[in-house]
Chain A
């Protein structure tokens, strides 16, 4: 689940959304290009921890972001261990985890409307190529909003199957989930039209 805004007055909270995203992109590049050593990884994590502390967020908030993506990280690590030396696999996975946790720091310290505004401003030059910045911004916001809703559908389906003694199988899970998600998107489209979004 994408981390939601935690109110605060830290320097990171007060940084405008646009420069915040640009800083994140620069840091992502730096982390990606950083030396593949244990020391480099430790420095990266120290930096991430420092970011959370500077934002007035605790280790619990940071740990929560790690827990949310634990299965993704685990699958990534195991897949790499098959083909790469352990230290390299751990370093690669560690860098990805650091980027994910830093990205969460952005949504924890910036309101979604501010991020949308920054996204729309940055995409404005692409209008001449047919890109609608407002639509892209809205799509991002709705993706964030839809994640817990779809997760709720998945939970309902599992509960219903358990209640009926149906074993969990891909076919009996994915199909109803898709149907519910598509129905939800239809309803949401009507709601958006009703709220004046064309």
Chain B
């Protein structure tokens, strides 16, 4: 399914401490569900982190929904929500409701509106009864749901999830995956080692040693990947 504002990589390379994390990546993506696969150290996370300006290119340009990720990073981060693999490192405030409400800081919204939006968001992700619970006492799956809620309350146009199910068991993986792949209205870029999740996307990018080897139909790209790593 295409039609979303483009994600554009134009001859992008990234170098960290003498090592090429990404090499000459060029691609234009307008699909709704985009999966990124590859072995460890292949450049998947670097690619994902460029989408909200956490990593900037050493050469080339990255534009996300028309915004240059180097020069317009601040505006970009209002449009891009990012979910990391480790839910513990995403919790900023002590309780669940406070952490979700934190995302609305700086918008100068009236208190009652913040409370309403937090309440609605917690309800959407089954966290209402945990509103006043200490965030660090939640299970891994609940913490990742909290991370998702905290991102989506800001209504980003693009959600980037970097191995969001890496530390979760099967049931929680299914729960998070369903929220991301079935229920999310926004465009999604999903970095994953789980080929079942990649197969549910509209397009799959495959990375190896910093190069983008393929970009295409999930069945084909996943089949090639599994053949090489069998």
Complex CA distance for A138 and B94, rounded to whole angstroms: 11
Knowing A5-B132, A190-B54, A190-B84, say if A195 contacts B103 (CB, 8 Å).
yes
Q: Which residues on B are within 8 Å of A, measured CB to CB?
A: 49, 52, 54, 74, 77-78, 80-82, 84, 86, 88-95, 98, 101-103, 105-106, 132, 134-137, 150-151, 154
A 5-23 contacts with B by CB, 8 A: 5, 7
A142 at interface (Cβ–Cβ under 8 A)? yes
B92–A4 touching, CB < 8 Å: no
Knowing A112-B93, A194-B77, A195-B150, say if A184 contacts B88 (CB, 8 Å).
yes
B2 to chain A, nearest CB (A): 26
B88–A141 touching, CB < 8 Å: no
Complex CA distance for A145 and B49, rounded to whole angstroms: 25
Knowing A5-B132, A112-B98, A145-B135, say if A194 contacts B92 (CB, 8 Å).
no
B93–A193 touching, CB < 8 Å: no
Residues on the A chain within 8 Å of B98, using CB: 111-113, 141
For the A-B complex with A195-B102, A195-B150, A198-B74 known, give 14 more contacts whose Cβ atoms are closer than 8 Å: A4-B95, A5-B132, A7-B132, A145-B91, A145-B92, A145-B135, A148-B134, A190-B89, A191-B82, A192-B92, A193-B77, A194-B54, A194-B84, A197-B105
A141–B90 touching, CB < 8 Å: no
A5–B95 touching, CB < 8 Å: yes
Q: Which residues on A are within 8 Å of B, measured CB to CB?
A: 2, 4-5, 7, 111-113, 134, 138, 141-142, 144-145, 148-149, 152, 184, 187-188, 190-198
* Between-chain CB contacts (< 8 Å), 24 pairs: A2-B94, A5-B95, A112-B95, A112-B98, A134-B105, A141-B93, A141-B94, A145-B136, A148-B137, A149-B88, A149-B91, A184-B89, A187-B84, A190-B49, A190-B54, A191-B82, A191-B92, A194-B54, A194-B80, A194-B84, A195-B103, A195-B150, A195-B151, A196-B77
What's the dominant secondary structure at chain A's contact region? helix
A196 to chain B, nearest CB (A): 5
Knowing A190-B54, A193-B77, A195-B102, say if A142 contacts B132 (CB, 8 Å).
no
Task: Tally A-B pairs: CB < 8 A.
Answer: 81
B49 to chain A, nearest CB (A): 8
Residues on the B chain within 8 Å of A198, using CB: 74
A4 to chain B, nearest CB (A): 5
Knowing A145-B135, A152-B136, A196-B106, say if A188 contacts B101 (CB, 8 Å).
no
Complex CA distance for A192 and B80, rounded to whole angstroms: 13
Q: Which 5 A-B pairs have the closest CB atoms?
A: A187-B89, A194-B82, A191-B90, A148-B136, A145-B94
| Cβ contact of A194, chosen from B52, B74, B88, cutoff 8 A | B52
Residues on the B chain within 8 Å of A5, using CB: 94-95, 132
A188–B92 touching, CB < 8 Å: yes
